Structure 1
Amino acid sequence: MSHEIELKGCAPTPLAHYLKALGILRLVAEQKDPNAKGCWRDEAFVLQSSLDKESLLRFFLEEYQPTPITAPWNAGSGFYFEEGKAAAIDPETGKSFKTGKKLKTGIRDKDTEATRTLDKLLQSQCDRFKGYRELLGKTRQILDEKGLQEAPKENQKSLLIQTIRNAYPDKFLKWLDAVLLIGSDKVSYPPLLGTGGNDGRLDFTNNYMQRLLRLFDALTGEPNSFVSNWLEDSLFLQPTPQMLKEAAIGQFLPGNAGSPNGISGFESKSLVNPWDFILMLEGGLFFSTNAVRRLSSDTGSGTLGFPFTVRMIGAGSGAGNQKDESNSRNEIWLPIWNKITSFEEVCCLFQEGRATVDRRFAKDGLDFARAISAFGVDRGISEFQRYSFVKRNGDAYLATPVNRIAVRNNPTVEIINELERSRFLDQIRRFARSDKAAARLAALAHQLENRLFDLTRGADRRVCQDILILLGKIQRAVGISSKAKEDIHQPIPLLSSQWLVASDDASSEFRLACALAGLKAVGGGSTKSSEQESPIASVFETYAGLPMRLHFAGIKLDKKRYVWDNESRLAVWGEGSLTQNLNETLRCRWLAAQRFSHNDKPFAYGVGANQADIAAFLAGSVDERRISDLAQGLALLKEFNSSELQTPTTRHAALPAAYALLKPFFVPDRELVRIGFLAADAKLPLRGELLSWLAANQTQKAVDWAWAKLRQVGVGLPHFPQQAPSAVGIDGPRLLAALAFPLAYGQMKNLLLTLGAGEKATEQQAESAQ
């Protein structure tokens, strides 16, 4: 008969309680019921086995045999005595001589709590500790053969570990594989179990032995007093007042470790349930590894070969920052599954224990967040609990719960892969963590990581916009930093139109930014001969048809790829207002078109805004800073397609007559011919004076000139009144900025045809109205 038991004392946080759940499942499956299963439900672990609550308690009290673990390479393991002290006083220090220093013999004969604990287990007689006696006896024999009277150092330590690895029976190797990984050139340690089974001066294995002897009599193996109460508290959260005080718990249970201001007094002492300590280390054995299979050239560190372990980054939550990264022992992502799963299946999950992103192993927290959608869904995982091992109490490391990440299918995350072309994402993240990075660039990179994390949690359009904004700012910041360009070799690679779809929130700001970012020029200078390309044509190719991207950062095209341009005269976008930047950009584009001998006005586009968007900009009812920032990010896109954008609810609005009159001068002639506004052989060039008049707020002068120029090229303007419309009250610089935004083709056609007063224009308007 199968029973389900809810273990309320086992929760995903803190780390000790998560490991405790794994320990209970493993021990029940290995020592009592091979068909044991488990899952996580309502913040508790559910055990399914042949044991009911009473028989589960009885199993641990009467039948449980502790897994033998030891770490003889550590000074606090219990295998090494300390040097005794002589009666004489050292005149230099005023302290008693150690016997080794006084007698020059290096005598180590002073026992400790650790050595006394180990001796008790060696002298035990009960079956419960039989395996432990064998392991400790075998280890002491190895140490005696090597003549080790104190903990080995460096190379000697590696040799001892290798000897133990070769000499231990297979049943004792699971702990060894969980606590360290023996590579070809060095030994690596996982953050989960410290540095080889210890954290500073705290040796996990000897403390494990001490907790076992607190629970069970060494000679008989029978439970001591209060053991059953402690067990019920550990498994089911049944309160007990007899907790062990001042017993170390290490990094696993920060809330019980003791700290200043932990109680009403000055400092709280640690409180530990012995079962918690024992069962969490039993659970740690799930993290045993396979060195040959797990070491990979792209991990960069053997530590990353441990299950679910990646480099710590200070992004993704408010619990850490980049400063913590240098003081961390990496981070671990622990799976939470909500379907009953067998012990064998859980073992396979932890043996695999890795995630891949873009066909490589996840190296850090951001990589893991990107990978868990496919990884988790494929294996029935519902969430991951993320832990960072960082300094939080002096020099002590604590397993800090960072956040809980739900697993869901999120195809949008794949667009992040585009940032890894030319290794841009890797290079900017690495440079931002170096001493060469300016504070602003480091802050932007950190914000980018946070927003990329947010994108992995859900396909939010605002998040995608924020990422594009940050990318645009980062490219500008790198473009003006010679140090940054030494490490970040290429600008941000061109992005696909997936970014356009993922970030489209149907707002006026977004459409205006798209229209602006898609500006380009079509047609450059002609070659002088068929044998040799002209310098003008070559320059046109270098600047790739004047895309807006060139105005935001100093870049150019070199052999069909963008590179940094330290001498760019096109990067004119600054920190001023959107109106100021657009005025300056229009003038720069006009000058560039003259210099490069463009055949047409440099205002071709891929996406046009709507009349309602232009009217909102003229009225000042849009977020201009966001338009400016978004345009810089959207300019990174390779192409724009208006069919991929959402259809706005409001498209038409009344625009000033002055805008309609001036707009033809900011539309390529080929488009004007296409809609029938200009004759096929007519030209309507943009004059620099028009830009200057509007920028200087001489709006009426610009309108009057435009009226006369349109009549000159044969555009049918109204016969009455026979004068240009009034520009009273219209701000020239703002009107000029509005003219920079391309207008959607259909709306531009209707707008410009309203200028015509001839019979042809009247007929076309009538047809359009029908």
Structure 2
Amino acid sequence: MAGQQVLRAGAGRVNRIALPGCRTEPLGSYLQGLGLWRCLTRLIDPHARAGWESGHLVLTTAAVSDVDELAQRLVAGFEPLPIVSPWNGGSGFAGNGKSATAERTLQAIRDSHEPRLAGVRAAVVAADTVVAEGRRRGWGGSKDELWDKARKPDVLTLARNRLPDEALAWLDAAVVLGATGDPVYSRLLGTGGNFGRQDLSATYLHRALAIVETPRRDWLHAALTGAENVPYERDAVGQFDPGRAGGVQSSPFEKLDDKGFVNPWSWLLTVEGTLLFASAVVRRLGADTSQAAIPFMVRSSPVGYPSSAAAENVMGEMWAPLWNRPAALTEIEQLLGEGMADWCGSAARTGLDFVRAIGALGVDRGITAFVRHVFVERLGQSPLAVPAGRIQVRERPEVMLLAPLDTWTARLRGDSSAAVQTALRELDTAQFALGTGQPHAAPRVLVALGRLHETVARSGAARAATGTPLVLPGAREWLTAAGTGLPELRLAAALASGRDKTRPGLTLRALFIPEETKPRHTRPQWTDRPSLVSLGAGAIAALAAAHRRRARAVPEPDGDIDPAVGGVLSTFRYAVRAPLDDVTALATGRVDELLLGDYLKALILLDWSDTAGIRLPAPPHVGLLPAVRAPQELRVIAPFFSADPLQLRLREDQPLPAPVPLRPGPDWIPQLEAGRVNAVAQDARHRMRIAGIRCLPGPPSHLDGHRVAAALLVPLAPATRESLVRAVADLPPNPRVVAVEGETA
């Protein structure tokens, strides 16, 4: 494969070398690419640059022309890294015969005069002095143990003081001492450089020695190009390449292949790639002493990838950064050493935090994408780094709507019931979808949030854990993010936004949630009583019951009262107004009741104190006007349900519209719940005639009473009510035209 020549400013011609074998995933291939680049800069070209294109690494270098030359020069001049772990019993330094291969490898290095092993030889000799001095000080363990576990911090400190500077990168990458003095391990390198019983330093030195003594250009060429025509060794590959890890059911030749398959060159370069994260551990440890603070390494959120499972043992996640602009190694070392993923002013701590940080552009400039790797126990083995998706860095403003959820949901994590944890996982999954820009994710978040809140409301322990019911700011922004293309969402928004000037206890929120607003409290508080109206029987029944509870007698003035005015007030004074076609759909059974209920559970949690200017678009329609399409009974009954009188001209000789107050009868809602729709419509016509409105005859529609009672609670704009009256009565037009749909009062 020939390298493509390009012109580097001020430096003559350089070559772009694509490396299909160094892919962005699995994690081992990604680290192999970083390790190759690091190896190239330390042995051949210190000015080599690299970036990720089309899923693989592309080098920019003036020192080699193509992959063949790169492989040839690395095989001839490779110098292994001084990677030793005298703090581990399996490293070969114990000398007790339990790690025979590691001990033989160390002895071969001590006896070797190969110049390319000089750095490794010096590190081995220094590690020997660490072991000897530690034992003299009485830090040795019992029986065959190399060290007393209680003295491990002392051993690590001694190793830092005695090992050559070149060997400290491995120490820093594998283990550091936290603020309390205890060892803190990087998930990237297992437990201090151990994957189960595999000591990584011993494996590295064994394979490096073999590569130096018996050069294999075909292995390196395969690692760089991705060719699969070279036989690999049957040996442990570690957590970095799940596809070659072996184990139960991994191959038809299960017993033969239980160790896995490994390309020694890939392994060496992968381990070298991990060293780029070493300084990051040291620099960032002060930020969180509970774990090694490698940038882009976070606690796991077991959502957002197809193979996730609630009961899966997940150890953490690594989000591997990608960049497409050729960068210098020093730039990437700084990125990894000081890089960050910021969510709401703090470093991301979980996978969910991380994906939201990406959407909020809380990551370093220059990063174009991240590949997520999840460390899980599978195949009955030590953890594997499983690729879990690639996320492009792109601003998604709607992600910031999730920030107010964190404090409330954090109180539910941990010791909660299975039902709460299931609902919380559903919410996390939806938030992850929103963070990655999946379509229709915002409505999914709302539905999951409503279900979670309902689950919490049913549990005394969960209510106590959260402290208060959730009040979520940003109703306007949530509607924008969710979109208003569904009638169920528009109806839920209109209903949830409804409120009164003097009756805060009769909003749908107050009726559906077991809460109360106590004196000296600005936020609602949980109460142990059941909710006044349950959504358990379905949204239609709940809305009809809520409508009945809201109905109250209108105070009468002195003297006789016009029968058209005497009645009840049950609708909201302030609300986002719904399109008439949606109300018609609700009354005639053409909405998804389950979806409407889910949206209601969520939207009543929003703060609707400011609805000025919010408009709900009417669905597109052709043909008849919405008022004409509405059923006859709805045209007659719906105009009565408002806190404000209609403004109408009843006669041609009336110059201006005058108030025409209409009130529903006190027994209308119970009658509708009993199925007497025609009786209510007949009373409505009678009241209209008394008010001076002569109704035209029309055919009955045979509507379901509960649906009509629910639909009549939905706030309508004054102009919409007027259009309904005009659809059943012959009235002179008003002198002005008002928009019919989407008004807010």
Rounded to whole Å, the distance in 2 between the matches of 1:767 and 1:259 is 76
User: Counterpart of 1:30?
Assistant: 42
User: Counterpart of 1:308?
Assistant: 296
Q: 1:337 to 1:490 in 2, by over 3 A?
A: same
Asked whether 1:652 is paired with 2:662, we answer no
Residue 373 of structure 2 aligns with an amino acid whose one-letter code is Y
Q: 1:599 to 1:459 in 2, by over 3 A?
A: farther
Residue 82 of structure 2 aligns with an amino acid whose one-letter code is P
Rounded to whole Å, the distance in 1 between the matches of 2:211 and 2:194 is 22
CA contact (8 A) 1:517 1:631 kept: yes
Residue 277 of structure 1 aligns with an amino acid whose one-letter code is W
Asked whether 1:547 is paired with 2:503, we answer no
Q: 1:233 to 1:146 in 2, by over 3 A?
A: same
Rounded to whole Å, the distance in 2 between the matches of 1:317 and 1:335 is 18
Q: 1:636 to 1:382 in 2, by over 3 A?
A: same
User: Counterpart of 2:560?
Assistant: none
User: Counterpart of 2:112?
Assistant: 124
Asked whether 1:183 is paired with 2:174, we answer no
CA contact (8 A) 1:504 1:645 kept: no
Report the secondary structure of 2:317's partner residue: strand
CA contact (8 A) 1:520 1:605 kept: yes
Q: Deviations over 1:257-295 (max 9, x none)?
A: 222343333434222111011110011101113556413
Asked whether 1:350 is paired with 2:329, we answer no
User: Counterpart of 2:523?
Assistant: 561
User: Counterpart of 1:274?
Assistant: 264
Give the drift of 1:425. 2.6
2:719 pairs, out of 738, 746, 749, with: 746
Residue 52 of structure 1 aligns with an amino acid whose one-letter code is S
1:331 pairs, out of 314, 317, 325, with: 317
Give the drift of 1:411. 1.2
Give the drift of 1:313. 1.4
Residue 352 of structure 1 aligns with an amino acid whose one-letter code is E
Q: 1:579 to 1:365 in 2, by over 3 A?
A: same
User: Counterpart of 1:95?
Assistant: none
CA contact (8 A) 2:579 2:616 kept: no
Q: 1:416 to 1:765 in 2, by over 3 A?
A: same
Deviates more, 1:196-205 or 1:47-56: 47-56
User: Counterpart of 2:94?
Assistant: 80
Deviates more, 1:374-383 or 1:341-350: 374-383
Report the secondary structure of 1:393's partner residue: coil
Residue 566 of structure 1 aligns with an amino acid whose one-letter code is D
CA contact (8 A) 2:645 2:661 kept: no
User: Counterpart of 1:512?
Assistant: 491
User: Counterpart of 1:361?
Assistant: 347
Give the drift of 1:568. 5.4
Rounded to whole Å, the distance in 2 between the matches of 1:110 and 1:329 is 28
Rounded to whole Å, the distance in 2 between the matches of 1:80 and 1:551 is 71
Deviates more, 1:444-453 or 1:411-420: 411-420
Residue 352 of structure 2 aligns with an amino acid whose one-letter code is L
CA contact (8 A) 1:25 1:38 kept: yes
Equivalent positions of 1:558-597 (< 5 A) are 558=518, 559-567=521-529, 570=532, 572-590=533-551
Rounded to whole Å, the distance in 2 between the matches of 1:333 and 1:386 is 4
Equivalent positions of 1:127-138 (< 5 A) are 127-138=115-126
User: What is the TM-score with the length of structure 1 in the denominator?
Assistant: 0.84
CA contact (8 A) 2:552 2:569 kept: no
Q: 1:659 to 1:6 in 2, by over 3 A?
A: same
CA contact (8 A) 1:468 1:634 kept: yes
Q: Deviations over 1:363-412 (max 9, x none)?
A: 10000001124557752222211111110021421111111112111111
Give the drift of 1:302. 2.1
Report the secondary structure of 2:626's partner residue: coil
Q: Deviations over 1:87-109 (max 9, x none)?
A: xxxxxxxxxxxxxxxxxxxxxx6
Asked whether 1:198 is paired with 2:172, we answer no
Residue 62 of structure 1 aligns with an amino acid whose one-letter code is A
2:162 pairs, out of 150, 162, 167, with: 167
Q: 1:698 to 1:212 in 2, by over 3 A?
A: same
Give the drift of 1:601. 3.9
Give the drift of 1:110. 7.0
Q: Deviations over 1:67-91 (max 9, x none)?
A: 1111112111010133xxxxxxxxx
Asked whether 1:230 is paired with 2:230, we answer no
CA contact (8 A) 1:601 1:685 kept: no
Report the secondary structure of 1:145's partner residue: helix
Q: 1:402 to 1:569 in 2, by over 3 A?
A: closer
Q: 1:610 to 1:682 in 2, by over 3 A?
A: closer
User: Counterpart of 1:492?
Assistant: 470
Q: 1:206 to 1:593 in 2, by over 3 A?
A: farther
User: Counterpart of 1:537?
Assistant: none
2:445 pairs, out of 458, 463, 467, with: 467
Rounded to whole Å, the distance in 2 between the matches of 1:180 and 1:505 is 52
User: Counterpart of 1:103?
Assistant: none
Asked whether 1:715 is paired with 2:729, we answer no
Residue 203 of structure 1 aligns with an amino acid whose one-letter code is D
User: What is the TM-score with the length of structure 2 in the denominator?
Assistant: 0.87
Residue 410 of structure 2 aligns with an amino acid whose one-letter code is D
Rounded to whole Å, the distance in 2 between the matches of 1:582 and 1:600 is 16
Rounded to whole Å, the distance in 2 between the matches of 1:750 and 1:20 is 71
CA contact (8 A) 1:586 1:740 kept: yes
CA contact (8 A) 1:175 1:288 kept: yes
User: Counterpart of 1:387?
Assistant: 373
Report the secondary structure of 1:35's partner residue: coil
Residue 193 of structure 2 aligns with an amino acid whose one-letter code is G
Rounded to whole Å, the distance in 2 between the matches of 1:300 and 1:591 is 60
User: Counterpart of 1:610?
Assistant: 579
Equivalent positions of 1:76-115 (< 5 A) are 76-82=90-96, 112-115=100-103
Report the secondary structure of 2:691's partner residue: coil
Q: Deviations over 1:122-174 (max 9, x none)?
A: 11112111111111111111211121474213221111012212333332211
Report the secondary structure of 1:388's partner residue: strand
Report the secondary structure of 1:46's partner residue: strand
Give the drift of 1:359. 0.4
CA contact (8 A) 1:12 1:385 kept: yes
User: Which sections of structure 2, spanning at least 5 residues, go unmatched?
Assistant: 1-12, 556-566, 651-655, 740-745
The answer to which structure has the higher helix fraction is 1
Give the drift of 1:35. 0.9
Deviates more, 1:469-478 or 1:256-265: 256-265
CA contact (8 A) 2:473 2:606 kept: yes
User: Counterpart of 1:425?
Assistant: 409
Give the drift of 1:39. 1.0
Residue 160 of structure 1 aligns with an amino acid whose one-letter code is V
Q: 1:261 to 1:709 in 2, by over 3 A?
A: same
CA contact (8 A) 1:178 1:287 kept: yes
CA contact (8 A) 1:3 1:48 kept: yes
Q: 1:682 to 1:767 in 2, by over 3 A?
A: closer
CA contact (8 A) 2:578 2:616 kept: no
Percent identity among equivalent residues? 31
Q: 1:323 to 1:365 in 2, by over 3 A?
A: same
Give the drift of 1:703. 2.4
CA contact (8 A) 1:501 1:644 kept: no
Deviates more, 1:652-661 or 1:734-743: 652-661
Give the drift of 1:59. 2.6
Q: 1:513 to 1:351 in 2, by over 3 A?
A: same
CA contact (8 A) 1:519 1:605 kept: yes
Q: Aligned residue pairs: how many?
A: 691
Report the secondary structure of 1:604's partner residue: coil
Report the secondary structure of 1:717's partner residue: coil
Report the secondary structure of 1:33's partner residue: coil
Rounded to whole Å, the distance in 2 between the matches of 1:522 and 1:465 is 30
Residue 544 of structure 2 aligns with an amino acid whose one-letter code is N
CA contact (8 A) 2:298 2:351 kept: yes
Asked whether 1:733 is paired with 2:721, we answer no
Give the drift of 1:443. 1.8
Q: 1:584 to 1:647 in 2, by over 3 A?
A: closer
